[in-house]
Amino acid sequence: MAIVEPRHARGGTLVLGGGFAGSYVARLLGKRGATIVSLENFMLYTPMLPEAASGTLEPRHVVVPLRMMCPHAELLLGRLEALDAEQHVATIQAGTETIAVHYDQAVLALGSYPRALPIPGLAEHGLGFKDLADAIYLRNHVLRQLEHAAAEKDRQRAEAHLTFVFIGAGYAGVEALAELSDLVRDALRYYPEFQRPRMRWVLVDAAPKILPEIPTRLGEYAARQLAGRGVEIRTSTTLTSVGPGAVALSGGVRIATHTLVWTAGVTPNPMLRALGLPVDERGAVRVDSMLRVEGRAGLWALGDCARVPNERTPSPDPPTSQHALRQARRLAKNLRGDPEPYRFRMLGQVATLGRYKGIALVFGVPLRGFIGWFVTRTYHLYQLPLFSRKLRVVTDWTVALLFRRDIAELGMLGHPRRLGGD
């Protein structure tokens, strides 16, 4: 391992993590410059991830290359390994090189991980839905289940391949289930093997209702929509174990399936504890109202990895991109020397429920059905950075209106056959 010359962050500001929060901070710092440390060279626009999984959107179109989004920032592709908050030095592993980067100001934007519980079989058999690799994998996995079911002679075994269980009925779980069930419904017309197939979608949550983040009326509408499409909603229910061909739920329920998707919330990046930073009981970095890490001069934090107090709300911000974006705006201003406490009142919430159905709460006005879907799409299109990205997404949506979905299963992508291999 080579240790290369220590260097100084561009503009003196080091942004650790190039996800939603970090990329916006670097973009908003503009010509002041910044150095972004990121594992990938793109920012993922997560609210569009369910549509990338269902194939409505091309996966490349829901990411924004950091070099295009932040033209004045330097990108250092690598992993933060250690942080000396006293000496203002971050240690970055970039390929085979270890680089010490000095900073004047550093911004922690290291995001979150899926909150996996120690449930037997979950780590081995459960599928996550957090990043682009998860979305592409899930799409291919679901399409492959259709092929397995088509090849299966035994009806019960075929139906197990057509059964999909989602644990966690927050935004990510509901949107992913709604989009993927649309994909499967569309795909089934190409499978003459299935004589009236019984596909089964099950949405499980420990809470007594789905989408607890939104007003009850909208949540109930979403539940009715999903139930109308045949989705089984099991609230006040927990997952107890997962096997290769079945899952067990509380109450002694056993469901034969090969697909268990875990969307039951997130936990702050566990690396934060290892960095020796002040964290709360969830492991989120404690910051003050200016977004400064408590007791660490020159260190700031935001997004899913931080516990951000909001002067406009009684409790700290929830881990959403909407909040990460507002925090990024405040943090960039604070770094530019215009310091003020962070305050933000949410203007609304939006979610899609598959094709032409959605829910939105805008300035307290609940919208649902087609108008909810339209508002959700318009909002995300507005928030997506770069005109060229917006245009690609609109083109994908237009194509999806005119043509049937693509159902090619491309699981082999990223695993090229070796030369000379069989």
Ligand X SMILES: Cc1cc2nc3c(=O)[nH]c(=O)nc-3n(C[C@H](O)[C@H](O)[C@H](O)COP(=O)(O)OP(=O)(O)OC[C@H]3O[C@@H](n4cnc5c(N)ncnc54)[C@H](O)[C@@H]3O)c2cc1C
By CB under 6 A, name the binding residues for ligand X: 16-22, 37-40, 46-47, 49, 79-80, 109-111, 129-130, 171-172, 269, 271, 303-305, 319-322, 324
Token pair belonging to 143: 């399409």
Minimum CB distance to ligand X smaller for 257 or for 269: 269
Min CB(27)–ligand X separation in Å: 12
For 338-395, the DSSP string reads ----------EEEEE-STT-EEEEETTEEEEHHHHHHHHHHHHHHHSS-HHHHHHHHH
Min CB(176)–ligand X separation in Å: 6
SS3 track for 48-73: HHHHHHHCCCCHHHHEEEHHHHCCCC
Min CB(292)–ligand X separation in Å: 17
Minimum CB distance to ligand X smaller for 305 or for 407: 305
Which residue carries 């035994």 as its tokens?
154
Query: Could you give phi then psi for residue 34, rounded to 5 degrees?
Result: -165, 160
Minimum CB distance to ligand X smaller for 243 or for 348: 348
Minimum CB distance to ligand X smaller for 172 or for 202: 172
CA torsion sign for 378, 379, 382, 385 is negative
Min CB(402)–ligand X separation in Å: 26
Min CB(368)–ligand X separation in Å: 16
Minimum CB distance to ligand X smaller for 161 or for 389: 389
Minimum CB distance to ligand X smaller for 125 or for 377: 377
Chain CA centroid to CA 319, Å: 10
Chain CA centroid to CA 19, Å: 10
CA distance 93 to 37: 10
Min CB(16)–ligand X separation in Å: 6
How many Cα atoms sit within 13 Å of 283 on the Cβ side? 16
CA distance 89 to 91: 7
Minimum CB distance to ligand X smaller for 64 or for 249: 64
Min CB(130)–ligand X separation in Å: 5
Considering only CA atoms, which of 161, 180, 178, 182 is closest in space to residue 169?
A: 178
Minimum CB distance to ligand X smaller for 197 or for 303: 303
Q: Are 246 and 255 in contact (CB under 8 A)?
A: yes
Min CB(93)–ligand X separation in Å: 8
Q: Which residue is nearest to ligand X (CB)?
A: 19
Minimum CB distance to ligand X smaller for 17 or for 197: 17
CA distance 47 to 31: 28
Min CB(230)–ligand X separation in Å: 23
Q: Are 126 and 318 in contact (CB under 8 A)?
A: no
Residues sharing a CB contact under 8 Å with residue 292, sequence separation 6 or more, in sequence order: 299, 300
